[in-house]
Structure 1
Amino acid sequence: MLEYSVKQRMNNRKTQSILATLCRPIINKISKLLGLPTIEHLEYQLYQKTEQLEQISAHQRAIYQVISKIRASLDLETIFRTTTKETCRLLGVERVSVYRFSEDWGGQFVGDFEFTEPSWDNYGKLGKNTIWNDSYLQEHEGGRYIHNETFVVEDIYKAGLSQCHLEMLEQFHIRAFATAPIFVKQKLWGILAAYQHSRPNNWQVSEVKFLTQVSAQLGIALQQAEQLAEVEQKAKYLRENSQQQTILFNLISEIRESLDFDTLCQTTVKEIRKALLCDRVGLFHFDPGSNYCFGEFVAESVLPAYNSALLHKVQDNCFGEQFAIQYQKERIQVLDDIYNAGLKDCHLKLLEKFQIKAQIIVPLMIGSTLWGLLCIHQCENTRKWTENEIRFVKQLAAQFSVALEHSHLLAQTRSQAEELAKTLDAFQEANYKLENLARVDGLTQIPNRRYFDEFLDLEWRRLVREKQCLSLIMFDVDHFKLYNDFYGHQAGDQCLVKIAQTAKEIVKRPVDLLARYGGEEFAVILPNTDENGASVVAEQIQSAIKDLGIPNYRSEKQIVTLSLGIATQIPLVDRTPQELILEADQALYQAKQQGRDCCLHFKILEKDVVNG
């Protein structure tokens, strides 16, 4: 039946061809009489339109290829080298370079990122840190580029350029150029430039559009690379900081494993009072920020007969203004009798408040900062302090200062360790989000091409071992370019989002994967699924998209439809996943050829070819 149908179509086409040949002269005469175009003229117009559409299609394929290569890497050098090389090849120009603005709107060509046709290598490289400060761009802070405009010159000698600009271009034998701005977020980063040396160049609209699209993708890639560099730098800093804090924490823990500030203070004052047989020993702490004029006793050991000094606020402006700097230099005050020490009345009144007759005052330091004072008081009567007692107090004060510093550092380290743990948790969360971002398509929020490739390779190797079927569905939107042209790119994006979300509701198995393959093309990986199972999923997707009823008055059916291609294999060691992709892609192409809005399986195509 199939063979008869094919032969019948071939006979009909032959008959139509003969009739067309016989009728052509008659139709041409009638057309001339009526003032209408001849068949030859219409055929020529059709040929021109076909060529134009093929050129547009080729440019679209080219931009998708370049974008895929840009997105395939997060390394800046690889991104720029790939971009300039592919842009130079696809535009057919002789040089493509990347120019970066500096803070003063001067700038230079970036590193070795340019690509030049071999015949023009000898005329110097723009891309080896060539400084090219354009006074106009500096004066106008980016000029036209700040407004996201391109600059296209077919012939520098017919463009009305200034003499200094001409001389700059002549230096590198540039005859024609097209430039497009590169934005990172909202900031003008630089310029992507295509140059022609040998002759003027009639830049096509599609070529300028291509250059603009590539520069936009460069900006996105730069932004992602900068974000990655920032995360890596932060991770490096956190690792180094963590190592340093861990060393410090362990060292302090070994020295003062069970160090407690309150215990340290109480033990110190108690033991000193017992050793010296004095009436009171107290630890006085200055209020931070008081310039050593205010403070209070935070610990003491005192005989019951005398008043407690604890929690009494003390104000001594003279100490802050005159004596604090001396105690910071390790001054010690030893008074055998406060009334024979030449003290001022205000100072005497302060000492009398605490019933003091004689005292030793020793500074307590945290590093080079005066933390407080160790105060030894004799209250019953005056006292002659011996050299041994003074030396003993100095040694104890030094040990307490060390312990105090350790205690302070321990508390600080614990606080920093807690903060570091929080920061590390935040970093891990940010790293997870960044990794997820690298695997998810920004528009449709489904897996992107990169994750598609990883997932397909993983499932292929698994099913090689299990010797089970692996199916792949490739589908894209019919007449999507016409849709974009008619409704605009924003509507086109919304259409792709709806299709992705609708297909996602159908591809529900955890082992399956729906991904955006590129542009308006999507792919579904179906592990452990045979031909029939894949056909069911494909038909469900096709039907669900039709049910959406998205209007497309530029297509025959006036709604958005899909064409789908299916391929199924049992993965083998000597085959690759790319063969499965190629089969599904061929099936998709055949579905397009047969009128779109249909679903074909690759094996069916093979049978058709055999029967044909």
Structure 2
Amino acid sequence: MFYKNLHIIPKVSANLLCKLLGQPSVSNLETQLHDKQVQIQQLEKQERALYRVISKIRASFELETIFRTTTKETCKLLRVERIAVYRFYENWGGEFVSDFEFAETGWDDVETLGKNTVWNDSYLQEHQGGRYRNHETLVASDVYAADLCQCHLEILEQFHIRAYATAPIFVGKKLWGVLAAYQHSQPHEWKKLEIQFLSQIATQLGFAVKQAEFLAQAKQKAAELYKANQQQDILFNLVAEIRESLNLDTLFKTTVREVRKALRTDRVSIFRFDPESNYTCGEFVAENVLPDYDSTIAIKVKDDCFGEKYAVAYHQGRIQVLSDVYQAGLKDCHIQLLEQLQIKAQIIAPLMKGKTLWGLLCVHQCHCSREWKTSEIQFIQQLAAQFNVALEHSELLEQSRSQANQLAQTNHALELANSQLEKLSKLDALTQIANRHCFEQFLEQEWNRLRLTENYLSLVLFDIDYFKDYNDSYGHLAGDECLIQVARAAQAVLKRPTDLLARYGGEEFIVILPNTNESGAIKVTKLIQKSIQELKIPHKKKNNFQYFVTVSLGVAIAIPTEKSSIQELINAADKALYKAKEQGRNRWVCAGKL
């Protein structure tokens, strides 16, 4: 028994000695070390989770998909019961967005915040966003112990909120909204890491909203150009028919049909004045109308006021545009006439025969009022002007050339917009190299091609060493600039048009080398490593000693076959990269030929 207990004496003595010297005991030091290790592990886990969520955010251009994915991931990672997104109005009121919320089972049907719930906060309205404008977060571990005013507390109780943490979402310099984490069942002691994580996700959502706005603007511009191109195409064809047609009835039928189709309106008619009536009488001679509305054909109209007050203005080129006939200040007799024809909004343009007012081109909206666009008014104006040309062929050639030039310019602008859209969908917004979607498409294409020719296909996967430390030391803006420089340096190495450099995610890049064997792939790998080293981007990693940014690289080579797969090649490159990191980073490892 004496010998069995002998090993206890040194430890007891060490603890007594530490106590006498006023130093922490061995067991206390062990506890502190263990706590530190746990903290580091938690931090690493959060960073991995953050990069995973950021990758998903940047993998999509659809705002709804981005927010749905992000709120779900954030809810799971923070282990809270609800994540919601609150968007500000122009007056600093706001609402919770229905499609941007995720709640754990059991709370998803309890007073859902995101069913367009308007939550106007007088403090936020008065102070235009309050503390959120200063990029501050708001946290309450228990709403009943947070010294909140009664009105706020009542709102929180309505939605069963017991604890919350909120972080502002900025789009550029504008406060766009708030990302909120809620706990319903009980109080929640928010950790510093959790608040940091929520803030980082909110920042990334701001970037995503900005990117989505740019894309929406580009799409809207392309849609407008496409619509303008359609109208110009219709106009050009009508001009050609006006020039060539000798049958006015055929010309009129074509005109009203194509105009109604171009403007997507309810009725388009051509009204002809009785030449003996001094512009007081006439009838509709052609129309194209939806089945829901009455025909105007052969309806005779008598209006003594027109000849006296309006004929001169139309003769000089006046176009009447009414968005709502009941708000246009018209006389009762005119309102009654329009009601008889079921007209709620209209555009009226003069049709000239030489220097004489021959009739009117009438565009009717029957089911509701309508705000007419400038381009629509211009379209009608241009078309009406062509009826002069139908009677005076001498002027047709010059005007048709003008229309052809406008059409060519519109087509050119549309082609540029489509090209920009296609480029935007394939490029990484930050580095301006191919994005992951483009990489996957190109890799599949080359794999299928080389499978038929039985030639080599190589991949080089690399990422920036200690990039997290770089971001922590220099900030995310410097981190973005570092990514841009690394991408440029790697791109400069690739000389063949068949080679492709893409951003694979976060700080990871990947290179596709078709028709390249192991020796060729290793040569390119060494050049990429060297080109990035030569950038000499400063990077303080340890003890403030000056280092430079480096990369670790993994290489894999394969001859595509029916039995092999693209994923096997990617996995091999990934494993090689992992080995390079294990061996100390700033080096490359080749997995060899699969």
TM-score, normalised to structure 1, is 0.67
Further displaced range: 130-139 or 476-485: 476-485
SS at match of 1:130: coil
Q: Is the 8 A contact 1:328 1:369 kept in 2?
A: no
| Residues 602 and 368 of structure 1, relative CA distance in 2, 3 Å threshold | closer
Structure 1, unaligned runs of 5 or more:
1-20, 260-321, 331-365, 375-398, 607-612
Distance 2:442 2:18 in 1: 60
Q: Is the 8 A contact 1:95 1:117 kept in 2?
A: yes
| Residues 497 and 73 of structure 1, relative CA distance in 2, 3 Å threshold | closer
| Residues 326 and 101 of structure 1, relative CA distance in 2, 3 Å threshold | closer
Counterpart among 462, 475, 484 of residue 462 in structure 2: 475
Q: Provide the residue aligned with 2:583 in structure 1.
A: 594
What is the 5 A alignment of 1:382-401?
A: none
Q: Deviation digits for residues 59-83 of structure 1, max 9, x if unmatched?
A: 2222222222222222232222112
Q: Deviation digits for residues 246-301 of structure 1, max 9, x if unmatched?
A: 33432332232499xxxxxxxxxxxxxxxxxxxxxxxxxxxxxxxxxxxxxxxxxx
Q: Is the 8 A contact 1:328 1:368 kept in 2?
A: no
| Residues 79 and 417 of structure 1, relative CA distance in 2, 3 Å threshold | farther
- The share of aligned pairs that are identical, in percent, is 56
Confirm or deny that 1:569 pairs with 2:552.
no
Distance 1:162 1:237 in 2: 50
SS at match of 1:119: coil
Distance 1:558 1:154 in 2: 42
What is the 5 A alignment of 1:14-163?
A: 41-163=28-150
Distance 1:329 1:48 in 2: 87
SS at match of 1:120: coil
Structure 2, unaligned runs of 5 or more:
1-7, 247-306, 316-348, 358-385
SS at match of 1:136: helix
Q: Is the 8 A contact 2:455 2:515 kept in 1?
A: yes
Distance 1:139 1:323 in 2: 57
Counterpart among 441, 466, 475 of residue 428 in structure 2: 441
What is the 5 A alignment of 1:404-483?
A: 415=402, 417-483=404-470
Which structure shows the bigger proportion of residues in helix conformation?
A: 1
Q: Provide the residue aligned with 1:549 in structure 2.
A: 536
What is the 5 A alignment of 1:8-19?
A: none
SS at match of 1:516: strand
SS at match of 2:511: strand
Distance 1:465 1:115 in 2: 47
Q: Is the 8 A contact 2:354 2:391 kept in 1?
A: no
Q: Provide the residue aligned with 1:346 in structure 2.
A: none
Further displaced range: 89-98 or 489-498: 489-498
Cα displacement (A) at 1:109: 1.6
Q: Is the 8 A contact 2:483 2:507 kept in 1?
A: yes
Q: Provide the residue aligned with 1:179 in structure 2.
A: 166
Amino acid at match of 2:560: P
Q: Provide the residue aligned with 1:584 in structure 2.
A: 573
SS at match of 1:367: strand
Distance 1:245 1:46 in 2: 75
SS at match of 1:123: coil
Distance 1:235 1:499 in 2: 33
Q: Deviation digits for residues 137-178 of structure 1, max 9, x if unmatched?
A: 222222223333322222212222221111111111111112
Distance 1:545 1:326 in 2: 76
Q: Deviation digits for residues 224-267 of structure 1, max 9, x if unmatched?
A: 333333443443444344334333432332232499xxxxxxxx
Amino acid at match of 1:588: L
Q: Deviation digits for residues 193-239 of structure 1, max 9, x if unmatched?
A: 21111122222333223222322332333333333334434434443
SS at match of 2:85: strand
Amino acid at match of 1:562: V
Amino acid at match of 2:350: G
Q: Deviation digits for residues 565-604 of structure 1, max 9, x if unmatched?
A: 2222222334432222222222222222222222222359
* C-alpha RMSD over aligned residues: 3.8
Q: Deviation digits for residues 6-34 of structure 1, max 9, x if unmatched?
A: xxxxxxxxxxxxxxx99989987876676
Cα displacement (A) at 1:108: 1.6
Q: Is the 8 A contact 2:87 2:178 kept in 1?
A: yes
SS at match of 1:178: strand
Amino acid at match of 2:529: Q
Counterpart among 465, 469, 473 of residue 486 in structure 1: 473
Distance 1:400 1:533 in 2: 69
Q: Provide the residue aligned with 1:559 in structure 2.
A: 548
| Residues 448 and 254 of structure 1, relative CA distance in 2, 3 Å threshold | closer
Q: Deviation digits for residues 412-459 of structure 1, max 9, x if unmatched?
A: 675455334323322322332333233333333322323222222222
Amino acid at match of 1:220: F
Distance 1:111 1:448 in 2: 30
TM-score, normalised to structure 2, is 0.69
Amino acid at match of 1:505: A
Distance 1:549 1:31 in 2: 48
| Residues 422 and 180 of structure 1, relative CA distance in 2, 3 Å threshold | farther
Amino acid at match of 2:124: L
Q: Is the 8 A contact 1:328 1:370 kept in 2?
A: no
Q: Deviation digits for residues 455-485 of structure 1, max 9, x if unmatched?
A: 2222222222223222222222222222332
Amino acid at match of 1:565: G
Q: Is the 8 A contact 1:99 1:108 kept in 2?
A: yes
Q: Provide the residue aligned with 2:255 in structure 1.
A: none
Amino acid at match of 1:573: E
Distance 1:329 1:110 in 2: 50
Q: Deviation digits for residues 372-412 of structure 1, max 9, x if unmatched?
A: 579xxxxxxxxxxxxxxxxxxxxxxxx99684699889866
Q: Is the 8 A contact 2:465 2:586 kept in 1?
A: yes
| Residues 254 and 573 of structure 1, relative CA distance in 2, 3 Å threshold | same
Cα displacement (A) at 1:85: 1.1
Amino acid at match of 2:471: N
